[in-house]
Chain A
């Protein structure tokens, strides 16, 4: 596919890797913000090919992983009601709440449906005027605009049996929270390219300046990742800390103004809890007062659900690069994607799940090279 195949080219990858190897002189710790980038890195074995001095710390940018337990519990409660058709993106169905997941709700008779666009949920609401249709609106700046558009449409078309369970999160406040952590080791960021395609890059120069960290807007194919790493390492070696856009085929400096305007109309910034992290001020969106009637939390009176997250796993250390997922004693034994102890093991974009899926084998590549295929 155009814009995909050419960004997986092994020869070009080799050249970028050579340049990174030639540039690096000291150890550096980079954080790729987005779970999609983590997935690419592990799936293609990119971390194995980088110089030993370049360490990739897997960031908190997995929307499935960071959605708080409390919100999942609210979703489970709403989805269990007989009058409700609960619509969600597929990978939220397996995320454990307290004791069960949406698959379980479905097996108990709940009407839970996988949709591929929030507008499909709106269509279902139009087709089922006697039912309440709820869409599970989670994710970063990437999934927020279509969800905003859907609520905007619902209001415009007078579709009253539709509502949104909102748990949207924003990247820049999370970067701040990471940099303010006392044990932070991150020296540079590969910023999430698709978030920037919506929001632009204007939020980042001040962060780069304040925390003296290079921030390189990076895409999601293997060559995108390598180019992001190359530019980041170059800045670090030179002692620079600027914002660069290494994903210009998708990201304009100003982002997508129409999407931003829609977000500003439908949502307002709020404090938001991140699963496994806690509340980060100003890090989320909720429906603005004009659209409050479409807020599923209010419509179904689940605002009172309060869930404490039991301390069980070490994802905090994983997310800081103090611990690789496969160094955790629970990894692959008591904690697997089938029975996740922590959110980072749930989605394929979570760092622990990516390691489990692709990296349980720590076989030296040389051993594999010893047995080439005929």
Chain B
């Protein structure tokens, strides 16, 4: 190899031969990027781009008052009963990951959407889209996992459908589930009920599912011993509602993570959310993986956690009940609702500064360095 001293000599600075010193006032920037004319991955990221897709294309096309609720699950009245109704599609890769599989997600995702309305899931539908060439043993393993998860959650798969697409037109297995459940009398969970003074509680450590998935994704295998937190939250919600039916809102912070869930509530309720960054439970394995990848745990997906906005007078009792439940053992208070900065989530940093916790735009992208 050549002598490096020529290029990297330590003597006088290289003669820059600047023809004239640059006037930094003339520094310019590029033109704005217009909206995407095609679907890009960010439209599925659960952040601002996903919301725009719904607001600008789906909601106007479908119309309807129920859809306008735009919650994780819709609340509908039918024959005198109040039902929660929700659907979710699952396109996770790889199909099996530490702590679960696409089958577990397909049940728990929909069950949890219903649970966030206070409903215990009663029936699920299940649609499989299979890619030509997928091994039947893999389909069987997914189906078994799905059945097991349904029994654990106490929900019955009542109807289903199967389609097959040509090789190359799918990604192994896609699953869609929809579910319905009864909402108990006296329970009314929606962001509009949030008021300043409410206490914000998370049911446990955040970022676990997203990091578990990333740790086994092709091209990014890293040695982290962490399993997905994928779980059905109906039981935990029942426990909380048994303390008081007067919870204000619940969310399971899946895509977009805790940051997206808190922002949605702040926006929909017109209140401000103030969190204490050091109170947010982030396991060291998650923090480390995120530090390496340049991600923020606040934006990483969870599949077995919820965030609750609870009237201050009930907070202590609800927290105690959550901690007595296996899925809420590490529940803790992370912040409160304030009348300042309506529609915004603000974090008090560990050092005592403050920062805005924004809604993610699209996909979170690993940083370059």
A residues contacting B by CB (< 8 A) are: 1, 4, 8, 10, 13, 36, 42-49, 63-64, 69, 89-94, 96-101, 103-104, 106-108, 113-116, 120, 138-140, 142-143, 172-173, 176-178, 180-184, 194, 199, 202-203, 205-207, 210, 222, 257, 260-265, 268-269, 275-278, 280-282, 309-313, 315-317, 319-320, 322, 334-335, 337-344, 347-349, 356-361, 363, 365, 367-368, 371, 373-374
Contact = CB atoms under 8 A, between A and B. Distances in A.
Interface stretch (B163-171, B242-250, B359-367): B359-367
Q: Which of B26, B336, B369 has the most CB of A within 10 A?
A: B369
Given A69-B30, A316-B26, A373 B369 contact: no
B356 A360 contact: yes
A112 to B, nearest CB: 10
Contacts of B11: 206
Contacts, number: 286
8 contacts: A44-B350, A90-B366, A96-B31, A143-B368, A143-B369, A178-B24, A315-B28, A363-B354
Nearest to B350: A10
B353 A99 contact: no
Given A10-B351, A313-B28, A313-B29, A371 B336 contact: yes
Contacts of B294: 91, 348
Contacts of A263: 4, 7
Contacts of A46: 351, 353
B365 A93 contact: yes
Given A282-B16, A357-B358, A361-B356, A63 B31 contact: no
B287 interface: yes
B23 interface: yes
Contacts of A178: 24
B10 A203 contact: yes
A107 B333 contact: no
Contacts of B274: 368, 371, 373
A309 B28 contact: yes
Sort A-B residue pairs by CB-CB distance and give the 10 closest, nearest first: A45-B353, A316-B27, A342-B29, A358-B355, A202-B10, A90-B365, A96-B33, A180-B21, A313-B29, A107-B38
A316 B28 contact: yes
Given A309-B30, A348-B367, A184 B24 contact: yes
Contacts of A45: 349, 351-355
Contacts of B42: 103
B122 interface: no
B136 interface: no
A368 B14 contact: no
Contact of A107 (B21, B36, B48): B36
Interface of B: 1-4, 7-8, 10-14, 16-18, 21-34, 36-42, 48-49, 199, 219-220, 274, 276, 279, 284, 287-288, 291, 293-294, 312, 315, 333-336, 338, 340-341, 344, 346, 348-356, 358, 361-362, 365-369
B340 to A, nearest CB: 6
Q: Which of B13, B220, B294 has the most CB of A within 10 A?
A: B13
Given A182-B23, A361-B344, A374 B38 contact: no
Nearest to A268: B7
Contacts of A69: 30
A177 B367 contact: no
Contacts of B291: 1, 4
Contact of A36 (B38, B284, B369): B369
A17 to B, nearest CB: 8
Given A194-B369, A357-B356, A264 B2 contact: yes
Contact of A90 (B1, B48, B367): B367
Nearest to A373: B336
Given A176-B13, A363-B354, 12 more contacts: A8-B351, A140-B369, A142-B369, A206-B12, A277-B24, A316-B27, A320-B24, A359-B355, A367-B340, A368-B274, A371-B336, A371-B340
A264 to B, nearest CB: 4
B346 A180 contact: no
Nearest to A45: B353
Given A315-B27, A338-B48, A367-B340, A99 B16 contact: no
B287 A368 contact: no
Contacts of B39: 107
Contacts of A63: 368-369
Contact of B38 (A104, A139, A360): A104
Given A103-B41, A373-B335, A281 B16 contact: yes
B8 A99 contact: no
Contacts of B1: 261-262, 264-265
Contact of B368 (A101, A139, A202, A265): A139
Nearest to A88: B368
A203 B288 CA distance: 32
Given A264-B1, A276-B28, A343-B30, A365 B354 contact: yes
A333 B368 CA distance: 27
B368 A311 contact: no
B340 A363 contact: yes
B276 A203 contact: no
Contact of B36 (A44, A103, A222, A277): A103
B365 A317 contact: no
Contact of B33 (A8, A100, A260): A100
A246 B291 CA distance: 21
